[in-house]
A and B are shown apart, each in its own frame.
Chain A
Amino acid sequence: MLKDYRDTIYHCLKCGACREAYGVSAPICPSGIKFGFDSHYAIGRISLAKAVLGGEIKLDSDLMRRVYTCTSCGACDEQCHDAVGVDPLQVIEELKYAAVEGGVIPPEVRDFLKSMNVYGNPYLLPSADRGKWMESTPFESYSGQDNLFYVGDVGSYDERGRKIARSVADLLLRAGISFGVLGERELSDGNEVNRVGERGLYEYMAQANIELFKELGINRIITLSPHAYNAFKNDYPQWGGTFEVLHYSQVLAQILAEGKIKPSGQGEMRVTFHDPCFLGRHNHEYEAPRRALKTIPGLDLVEMERNRAEALCCGGGGGNFFTDMLGSGDRSPGRLRVREALETGAQVLVTTCPKCFNMLDDALKTEAAEERIAVRDISELF
Chain B
Amino acid sequence: MVMENKDVVKREIESIVGPDNVSSDAPDLIPYLSDSYSAMMGRDIPLPDFVILPKTTDEVQKIVLLANKYEIPIYPRSFGVNIAGSALPYKRGAIVIDLKRMDRIMEINEDTMTATIEPGVSWGRLRKEANKKGLDIIPIGGPYQTSPIGNHLLTNITPYSSKYSSDRAVTLKAVLPNGEILRTGSWASALGGDVNPYFRYAYGPDLTGMFRGSMGNFGIIVEMVERLRPLAPLENIISFGFDSLDKCMKAMQAIERLEFSRTCGAYNNILTAHFLLAPHRIKTPGERERMLKKLPPFQINLGLGGTEEMVALFERIAAEEAGNWDGYPVLLEGEDKILLDQVGEGASRGIMHMYAPFSGFAAVIGCLPITHVAEINDIVKNIVKKYDIRDPYSGEPQEHELIIVPYDRCSTVYVEQEILYDPAADRSVLEPVMQCLRECYAEIVGKYGASHTIPNKTLMKMMVPSYGNILKGFKKMVDPKGIMLPGGPYSLE
Contacts and interface: CB of A to CB of B under 8 A. Distances in A.
A, B in one complex: yes
Interface of A: 6-7, 10-17, 19-20, 22, 24-26, 35-39, 43-45, 47-48, 50-51, 56-57, 62-63, 65-66, 81-86
B432 interface: no
A22 B424 contact: no
B31 A38 contact: yes
B30 to A, nearest CB: 5
Interface string B86-122: 0000000000001011000000000000000000001
A337 B38 CA distance: 36
Nearest to B144: A22
B352 interface: yes
B98 A38 contact: yes
Contacts of B31: 37-39, 43-45, 47-48
B349 A82 contact: yes
Contacts of B357: 11, 84-86
Contacts of A38: 28, 31-32, 98
Closest 8 A/B residue pairs (Cβ) = A85-B279, A44-B31, A25-B124, A10-B424, A85-B357, A38-B31, A47-B31, A13-B359
Given A25-B124, A39-B30, 17 more contacts: A11-B358, A11-B423, A13-B359, A14-B34, A15-B143, A15-B352, A16-B81, A16-B146, A17-B145, A26-B125, A36-B100, A36-B101, A44-B31, A48-B30, A63-B26, A83-B279, A83-B349
A47 B101 contact: no
A99 to B, nearest CB: 12
A39 B21 CA distance: 13
B30 A14 contact: no
A13 B352 contact: yes
Contacts of A45: 31
B25 interface: yes
Contacts of B143: 15, 17, 83
A37 B358 contact: no
Contact of A14 (B35, B127, B280): B35
A84 B356 contact: yes
Contacts of B294: none
Contact of B28 (A17, A51, A66): A66
B82 interface: yes
B53 interface: yes
10 contacts: A7-B424, A17-B352, A36-B21, A36-B53, A37-B53, A38-B31, A39-B30, A39-B31, A43-B31, A62-B27
A85 B28 CA distance: 25
A26 B105 CA distance: 13
Interface string B449-462: 00000000000000
B80 interface: yes
B189 interface: no
Contacts of B128: 24-25
Interface in B51-86: 51, 53, 79-82
A48 B25 CA distance: 12
B278 interface: yes
Interface string B178-197: 00000000000000000000
B343 to A, nearest CB: 13
A10 B39 CA distance: 8
Contact of B80 (A16, A44, A48): A16
In which size bucket is the chain B interface? Answer: 35 or more
A246 B460 CA distance: 65
Contacts of B145: 15-17, 19-20, 22
B144 A25 contact: yes
Nearest to A19: B145
B398 interface: no
Contact of B424 (A11, A37, A81): A11
A84 B144 CA distance: 13
Contacts of A12: 359
Secondary structure at the B interface, as helix, strand, loop or mixed, is loop
Contacts of B26: 57, 63
Interface in B351-366: 352-353, 355-359
B80 A15 contact: yes
B124 A22 contact: yes
A48 B29 CA distance: 10
A13 B81 contact: yes
A63 to B, nearest CB: 4
B226 to A, nearest CB: 15
Contact of B23 (A11, A37, A48, A84): A37
Interface string B288-326: 000000000000000000000000000000000000000
B124 A83 contact: no
A102 to B, nearest CB: 15
Nearest to A46: B31
B33 interface: yes
Given A22-B349, A36-B100, A48 B280 contact: no
Name, among A37, A44, A51, A86, the residue most crowded by chain B CB atoms within 10 Å (CB to CB). A37
Interface in B139-164: 143-146
Contact of B349 (A16, A17, A62, A65): A17
Contacts of B34: 14, 47, 50
Contacts of A26: 125
B161 to A, nearest CB: 20
A1 to B, nearest CB: 16
B166 interface: no
Contact of A51 (B23, B30, B422): B30
A76 to B, nearest CB: 12
Contact of B27 (A22, A48, A81, A85): A48
Given A7-B424, A36-B101, A85-B279, A47 B359 contact: no
Nearest to A9: B424
B117 to A, nearest CB: 13
B36 interface: yes
Interface in B1-59: 20-21, 23, 25-28, 30-36, 38-39, 51, 53
Given A36-B21, A84-B357, A14 B82 contact: yes
Nearest to B424: A10
Contacts of B98: 36-38
A46 to B, nearest CB: 8
Nearest to A50: B34
Contacts of A6: 424
A22 B349 CA distance: 7
Interface string B270-283: 00000000111000
Name, among B80, B82, B352, B424, the residue most crowded by chain A CB atoms within 10 Å (CB to CB). B352
Contacts of B144: 20, 22, 25
A362 B442 CA distance: 61
B242 to A, nearest CB: 29
Nearest to A7: B424
Contacts of A44: 28, 30-31
Contact of A84 (B82, B101, B125, B352): B352
A83 B356 contact: yes
A65 B101 CA distance: 21
